[in-house]
Every structure is written in structure tokens, then in C-alpha cells.
């Protein structure tokens, strides 16, 4: 990352606050450099009002890999509604780079509790498998990209075979960015209490850590140098457990200079490190 | 890394054999692009015939940061003697980039057992602290870069306060590349048996893992995507333990596309990813 951007990010610290998110957006929004590739907005993928996704179709009938972005914000809120940049930038980037892109909403706590997020990922994947071919996408080439809460929901989907919509969870791979994988070892904030329920003794069922370790879906993880302590600890625990389970180092990338939200916001700007990491992974698992 | 180089490395596999090392050297040696900055060869830093280092001095009397490279190869052998490229390339690169560079030999098993390697790191650091100022170096700005066995010896030095030659181990930071930190959890090959002794029950004393976790010296770790299983597992265990100890993710960088030896061999070539990682760290800890 260029040094001035890195210094600006560092100045905002690692606490994820509305101020920090807004400041990080202001750094990247003016850099966004994506062509308007056309978008179908608020396509329903299920019965709930939040079962909606934005679809950035391919420009012809080729069977392109499909990137489905599942953004973060919290279990009881989304960053999306007031976004100046992102998370649609990830799906728009995909369409700009020759893929089909999609970005989904999901149901929120307190109305909808665990595993609603994971169920919604399943629904969106099922919808894409049924419908993406007519938009230039390959139903067998779907890659999920989850960030923060979105990574938790993608992990929840991968970890529960009962939700899987096909063999190998019906996807070619998944990117998990700064997720919480085992909520028992993370802060029990209001959003987590609302989503996982008031009795923490039940939260063990909500951990996707063991499920990710035994998944046969190709996984790419990221953690940011300026992620909050919980997110860093979760990533470190995943790496340690992965080493024990597989006698191997996982595809866990430490994103130098980035804070919790900047990796997503950098996608589609000339700061292409994160974008390349995602696109290289998509190319590898859909080859 | 460029795609053709990456494919060539992948073709050699992850087993560290003389053939694989030679093939990886052949990929990078023709790319080396370093000016001849002058070198003092085989400078003695202790009484043993192997207490020798090559010193790449600064070009003037400025107090430059000092990079001391501790190469690998095994507890009972060095890669160095027959090197077409490296490990002197790391020290030569340092001198080319405005630092003082040094690369040290160390005593070998079976004549010299644990902690001989760690003791030799201590001796070399002590020598540099006493002598590097007259070669343009800052005695308070020494950064160790250990690879493989060299990382194990640097870790052994950091983990044993009795060996430290000054506060903070007398150094500004250390880079640990593909090291074995706890030999109890790695292969007991002939070299390890010769160095750590035939009774594995005593090897717990030789683990530097806990010492690294409690060290106050800034540390940068790397692990290669094509490192052998032992090196990957050791790195993963370090990350997991770091997460528990510090509620934070360590500076552990996964080197995409690299095998066990290519990160070192890439230094001083136009493939500058590893070089930049090291130089950014040196700049940060000596600022």
C-alpha cells in the first residue's frame, strides 16, 4: 500500500467506530475506478424483505466464475445502507474483471437469530445455482467472499452440511476476511447477544471453527494488521488449529497496513493488493 | 511473483532436496542484480574456525542500520559453501540498499551441540556492537534475519536471556523465516539428533517458542506456501500460541508461491516482495 494511505489508515486506529469507518471510506471512495457494467438491484432470492441481492451480470453468455460478496457490519445491522463506497464495490469489481458479481443482504437480529445468516447464504447460493447461467455465470463456479459478520455467516454455512445446497457446499471456494469463527472467544456485544441468544452456554453450537477445519472447500482467509483484538485472536486461533488438524499452514494472509474495513473498501481502487489476492484465488479454484 | 517463476517453483515441489535447492538457485541466480559494494570476507567474530562473517560495509561513516543474516541448511551443514546465489545475497542486498550487511557462519553438529548456534549468534551480535561503527553501522540498530536453521538459532538466542549481550538482546528486531521453534514437534532427522542430542526427552529445553512469545524484541515471521509440513506446522503453532498469549495476530507473513529456499534466493533480484518485507521491517524497528 502506498505510504501516505497507510499512514492515514494508521491515524484512525483499530477501533471499529462509525467515525473510523467513515474516515476510511473517505480515503478510498475518491479512488474507486470501476466502469458502470450494469446492475440488477434488489433481486429477490427468498421470501424475506432482506432476501435481496444486487447482481452484476457478465457482458455475454460465457460461463464466468461468480463472486458472491457477503458484507459485514454486525449481526443486527449492515454497513451497506449508507455506503459511499462498498460493499457493492466488490461485486462491481468482479464484473469489471470478467466475472459475474453479486452482493447479498441477509436477515438481521434480533428478529432473526442464528443460524439465519448461514441459512441466507444457503438460499443465495441456491438462487445463483438456479439462475446465474442466464446472466453469464457458471453455476458450478461460485466463490463466496465474506467480510466480518459476512465471513461468520459464510463460515456458518460451510460448517453445517444440513444447509449445503450441493456437493462441496455447492461452491468452488470461499474467502473469509476478518471473521469471528468461534463466538465463545469473542466479545459478547449487544449484536452477538441478539443473534446468538442470551445464554452463552449455547454458543458452542454456533462455532464454525471445527467445521471450517474439516471442510473440503478451498478456503482463503485474511486478517488485517489493524483488525481489533478479537478478530486477530480468532484468526490466530484458526491458524493454530489448522496446523494441528492438517500439519500445514492455511491460506491465511496478513494484510499489512489495513484496518478492519479498508481491505473491502480498497477493492476497485488502484490499491490492488486485496483485489489481486481474491482474483488469484477465484482463478485457482475455478480453473 | 511473476507467474512463470511461480509455475517453475511449483514444479519443484515442496521437499527440500539438493536437487530442488539447485533448481531453485538456477531460477534466481541469473536474476541477481546487485552492485559490488565491497566486502570483508571471513572476518573472525570468535575463536572457532567457523566464527567467521562476511561484512558488507556502508560507503561512508553514517550510522546505518545493520542486517545480520543467519542462513540455514541444517544443524550439521550449511548451504553456503556451494552457493551460486545466497545467502550472501541478503547481506549484499543490505549494502546495496543503504544498510550495513553481514552474513555469519556458525558451529555445526555433531561437534557442537545445542545451544552452540544460539551462542554464536550472541558472539556475532557482540562483535558487531563492538566493531560495526567503524564500518558505517549503528551498533544499536542491528536486525537479525534468520532462515531455517538460522531462524532456529536466532530464536534460541532470543529465548535465552543468559546469552543476551545487551538490553533487548542487544538488537532492534529479528526476522524469522521458516524456522523450527519447538524441535519436539518436528522431524527428528539425523541433523536434529546430532544437534539436540539423542534423547528427545531433553529437547523441551531447546524449544524457543515460549521465549519468542515473551520476547520484547520486535519480531517478523515468514512461512512459505510450499514450505515442508514441519515448517508450516511450526509457523501455525507459533501463530496460535501468539494469539493466546497476546490476544493479537503476530507479524507472520505467508509467502505466496515460494518454497523453502526461494524467499532467500529472491533477495537482490527484481522479484522484490521478500526484500521489501525485510527492508520495511528494518526501517520500522530502527526508526
Predicted confidence (pLDDT) per residue in A81-116, tens digit: 545 445 689 999 999 999 999 999 999 999 999 999
Best interface-test mutation with B: which of A230, A239, A277, A283 has the largest number of B CBs within 10 A? Answer: A239
Contact B68, B100 (CB under 8 A): no
Q: What is the mean pLDDT of residues B25-38?
A: 91
> What does the pLDDT read at residue B37?
78
* pLDDT tens column, A116-156: 999 999 999 999 999 999 999 999 999 999 999 999 999 99
Chain A residues whose beta carbon lies within 8 Å of the beta carbon of residue B225: 249, 251
Share of chain B above pLDDT 70, in %: 97
Please give the torsion angle defined by the CA atoms of residues A13, A15, A18 and A19, in that order, rounded to the nearest 10 degrees.
Answer: -20
Q: Does A237 touch chain B (CB under 8 A)?
A: yes
Contact B267, B235 (CB under 8 A): no
> What does the pLDDT read at residue B85?
46
Residues 165 through 224 of chain A touching chain B, CB cutoff 8 Å: 223
Chain B residues whose beta carbon lies within 8 Å of the beta carbon of residue A258: none
What's the ipTM?
0.93
Distance of CA A37 to the CA centre of its chain: 22
Point out the least confidently predicted range of A161-170, B21-30, B55-64: B55-64
> What does the pLDDT read at residue B230?
96
Q: Is the pLDDT of residue A57 over 60?
A: yes
Expressed as residue numbers, the domain containing B240 is: 3-285
From the list B227, B247, B280, which residue is nearest A233 (CB)? B247
> What does the pLDDT read at residue B2?
86
Q: What is the mean pLDDT of residues B129-150?
A: 97
Chain A residues whose beta carbon lies within 8 Å of the beta carbon of residue B283: none
Q: What is the mean pLDDT of residues B109-132?
A: 97
* pLDDT tens column, A200-248: 888 988 999 999 999 999 999 999 999 999 999 999 999 999 999 999 9
Q: Is the pLDDT of residue A61 over 80?
A: no
Point out the least confidently predicted range of A250-259, B24-33, B238-247: B24-33
> What does the pLDDT read at residue B82?
46
Q: Is the pLDDT of residue B86 over 60?
A: no
Q: What confidence category does residue B84 fall into, taking pLDDT thresholds of 50, 70 and 90?
A: very low
Contact A76, A108 (CB under 8 A): yes
Q: What is the mean pLDDT of residues B182-204?
A: 91
Q: Does B260 touch chain A (CB under 8 A)?
A: no
For chain A, what is the mean pLDDT?
94
From the list B236, B248, B254, which residue is nearest A243 (CB)? B236
C-alpha cell at A252: 491465511
Q: Does A244 touch chain B (CB under 8 A)?
A: yes
Among A72, A76, A19, which residue's Cα sits nearest to residue A190?
A: A76
CB atoms within 10 A of CB A1: 16
Chain A residues whose beta carbon lies within 8 Å of the beta carbon of residue B242: 236
C-alpha cell at A17: 467506530
Q: Is the pLDDT of residue B24 over 50?
A: yes
Tally of structural domains, chain B: 1
Q: Does B29 touch chain A (CB under 8 A)?
A: no
> What does the pLDDT read at residue B107?
96
Share of chain A above pLDDT 90, in %: 86
Task: State the DSSP H helix or E strand holding residue A265, giving kind and residue range, or none if neither.
Answer: helix A262-265
CATH number at residue A201: 3.40.50.1820
C-alpha cell at B217: 524484541
Amino acid at each position: 500500500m502506498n505510504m501516505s494511505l497507510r499512514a492515514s489508515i494508521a491515524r484512525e486506529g483499530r477501533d471499529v467506530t462509525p467515525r473510523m469507518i467513515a474516515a476510511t471510506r473517505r480515503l478510498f471512495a475518491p479512488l474507486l475506478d470501476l466502469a458502470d457494467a450494469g446492475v440488477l438491484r434488489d433481486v429477490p432470492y427468498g421470501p424475506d424483505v432482506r432476501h435481496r441481492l444486487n447482481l452484476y451480470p457478465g457482458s455475454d453468455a460465457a460461463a464466468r466464475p461468480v463472486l458472491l460478496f457477503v458484507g459485514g457490519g454486525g449481526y443486527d445491522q449492515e454497513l451497506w445502507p449508507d455506503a459511499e463506497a462498498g460493499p457493492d464495490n466488490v461485486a462491481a469489481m468482479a464484473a469489471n474483471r470478467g466475472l459475474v458479481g453479486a452482493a447479498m443482504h441477509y436477515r438481521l437480529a434480533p428478529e432473526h437469530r442464528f443460524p439465519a445468516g448461514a441459512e441466507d447464504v444457503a438460499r443465495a447460493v441456491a438462487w445463483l445455482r438456479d439462475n446465474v447461467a442466464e446472466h453469464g455465470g457458471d453455476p458450478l463456479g461460485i466463490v463466496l467472499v465474506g467480510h466480518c459478520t459476512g465471513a461468520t455467516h459464510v463460515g456458518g454455512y460451510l460448517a453445517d452440511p444440513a444447509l449445503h445446497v450441493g456437493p462441496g457446499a455447492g461452491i468452488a471456494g470461499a474467502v473469509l476476511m476478518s471473521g469471528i469463527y468461534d463466538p465463545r472467544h469473542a466479545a459478547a456485544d449487544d449484536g452477538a447477544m441478539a443473534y446468538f441468544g442470551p445464554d452463552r452456554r449455547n454458543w458452542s453450537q454456533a462455532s464454525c471453527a471445527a467445521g471450517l477445519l474439516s471442510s473440503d472447500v478451498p478456503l482463503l482467509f485474511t486478517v488485517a494488521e489493524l483488525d481489533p483484538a478479537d478478530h486477530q485472536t480468532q484468526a490466530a486461533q484458526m491458524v493454530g488449529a489448522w496446523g494441528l488438524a492438517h500439519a500445514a499452514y492455511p491460506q491465511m494472509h496478513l494484510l499489512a497496513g489495513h484496518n478492519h474495513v479498508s481491505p473491502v473498501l480498497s477493492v476497485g481502487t488502484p490499491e490492488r493488493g486485496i483485489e489481486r489476492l481474491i482474483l488469484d484465488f477465484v482463478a485457482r479454484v475455478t480453473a
